[in-house]
Amino acid sequence: MSQAWQAFGAAFRVEASGPLQAHFARLFVGLPPADHAAAAPLTVKPPTNAGDEVAEFVGDMNVWAMAAVEGSLLLHAGAVCRSDGDVLVVCGPSGSGKTTLTAQLTARGHSYLTDETACIDPHSLDVMPFRKPISVKPGAQGILGYLRPGPEDLPFIGSQWLVPPDRLGGMPVPSTRLRLGMIVFPTYLPGEPLSVQALTPARAAYEMGRNSSRLRELRGGALDGLLRVARRTPAYQIVHGDEDAAVQWALEAWAQR
Amino acid sequence: MTVLKRAPLVAAREDEGEYLLYDGVMLQLLSGPAARVWELVDGTREASEIADLLAERHPGDATRVRADVLDFCADLLRRQVVVEAAPDGIALPADHVGWVEDGSTALLVDLQTGTRRALTASGRVVWEAVLTSQETDVVLQQVRDSYPDASPELEHDVAQLIEELTREGFLRRG
């Protein structure tokens, strides 16, 4: 029987056969289990190029799950948290380096929350975890080589690696309330020295808005919601060519909160 | 050149002198000089006036500032962040107003308050002209066409009636 999981509180099950079903069970180990009978069936297309279609399915599942949290601030971001529940969000478009930073922050002993969509309540700043498998694109596979999928998953691997969160290291998600603490907007430029700019609330709100989904549905209004979050959360834009330097800076800045 | 005003469908919020704009599709941030331009777009100034005002604040670089502001205003117009205000603030019929004909005259009714206003035959001509156009010249021409022998005070009388109807809530500024 297929298993069922929750993504942002919405229950789904995967309709797939044999080894592919087992692969999904490994990938979704970070998601809370769900009642199979109540779960919406999400069907994976019969694989011709199994790896890329599996990655596409996980991306589609992410989009489907966002409907369940309509009204929240949905940032295109990775996120990790500390043992006290304070959350660091790494926000940016594809290629900005957020997945690499998220994986490395997790490896440094923090709890992985997501690498794709940070779901933030615009009033309480509470963060809902979405521990989907981390997607490691070709550009990040060099520095994250230690996350290369194991032999049991190789038949389903395409151009990007899908890595279950239990392989990232880090700590379990604390049972305490998870609350937004700091936002970083990274830009990766090879060879560029680290530079950091603290953002004004308006600039931070703008950067969040342009890296968000379903902004029009934000509870309390898009502009008011973005500014409410931005006024209460320190935000920084960093440009770097060295992930270690970026991670080190982020940890030090975050520790000062 | 026409007066500029902020586009009605663009919401704006200010924080520490910067402005965040959103029309339901596009999010924009105006900082520094762009924010100063936005502050001066208030439905009373033309782009050239805004450019002159900001150039005065930078006397050592006035020519460049003026050109940049004019370019920026043109860009805001192109992106429909600002629009051209109706000339002379000509008013539009309010959404909640109905009217009925009574021979050559008319009766306006504010459906929200129940207030009524009777219009003379000439008042009805003005009302019907405003229904079809919010351009002053067009309204005046329609009235002149109806009263070719009207006194020179026609323009003043039309403006006065429009002002009264606006004050009474039957018309609203566009």
Closest CB to A227 among B13, B24, B28: B13
- B123 Cβ partners below 8 Å, 6+ apart? B105, B106, B161
Phi-psi label, residue B74: left if phi above 0, alpha if psi -120 to 50, beta otherwise:
alpha
Closest CB to B29 among A203, A216, A222: A203
Mean pLDDT, to the nearest integer, of A83-108?
95
Decide if A223 and B16 are in contact by the 8 Å CB cutoff: no
Per-window interface: B 28-67 vs A, CB < 8 A: 28-29, 31
CA distances in angstroms from A7 to A2, A89, A132, listed in the order given: 16, 19, 8
pLDDT for B86 equals 64
Name the DSSP class of A140.
G
pLDDT for B2 equals 77
CB atoms within 10 A of CB A244: 11
Interface test with A, best of B6, B13, B19 (most A CBs within 10 A): B13
Chain B partners within 8 Å of A211 (Cβ): none
Closest CB to A206 among B16, B24, B27: B27
Q: Which residue has the tokens 């902020």?
A: B6
Is-contact A44 A57, C-beta < 8 A?
Answer: yes
The model's confidence at residue A15, banded by pLDDT at 50, 70 and 90, is confident
pLDDT for A156 equals 81
pLDDT tens for A31-79 read 999 998 888 888 776 655 567 788 888 888 888 899 899 899 999 999 9
CB atoms within 10 A of CB A32: 13
Is-contact A120 A204, C-beta < 8 A?
Answer: no
Per-window interface: B 3-22 vs A, CB < 8 A: 11-13, 15-16, 18-20, 22
pLDDT for A46 equals 60
Tell me the nearest-neighbour CA distance from B92 into chain A, angstroms: 29
Per the prediction, chain B carries an average pLDDT of 87
Tell me the nearest-neighbour CA distance from B32 into chain A, angstroms: 12
Query: A245 versus B149: which is more confidently predicted?
Result: A245
pLDDT for A248 equals 96
A8 is written with which tokens? Answer: 């942002």
Is-contact A201 B16, C-beta < 8 A?
Answer: yes
3-class state of residue A49 by DSSP: coil
Closest CB to B27 among A209, A221, A224: A209
Q: Compute the C-alpha angle A208/A212/A214, nearest 5°.
A: 135
Lowest mean pLDDT, pick from A228-242, B92-106, B143-157: B143-157
CA distances in angstroms from A52 to A17, A139, A157, A161, listed in the order given: 17, 16, 7, 9
Decide if B15 and A210 are in contact by the 8 Å CB cutoff: no
pLDDT tens for A206-231 read 999 999 999 999 998 999 999 999 99
A62 is written with which tokens? Answer: 């992410």
Mean pLDDT, to the nearest integer, of B85-92?
62
Interchain contact B27–A (C-beta under 8 A): yes
Distance of alpha carbon A14 from alpha carbon A136, whole angstroms:
22
Query: Whose CA is closest to B20, among A253, A194, A209, A43?
Result: A209
CB atoms within 10 A of CB A48: 7
Distance of alpha carbon B62 from alpha carbon B56, whole angstroms:
7
Decide if B31 and A221 are in contact by the 8 Å CB cutoff: no
Distance of alpha carbon A60 from alpha carbon A45, whole angstroms:
12
Phi-psi label, residue B41: left if phi above 0, alpha if psi -120 to 50, beta otherwise:
beta
Decide if A231 and B15 are in contact by the 8 Å CB cutoff: yes
For residue A114, the cross-strand partners are: A79
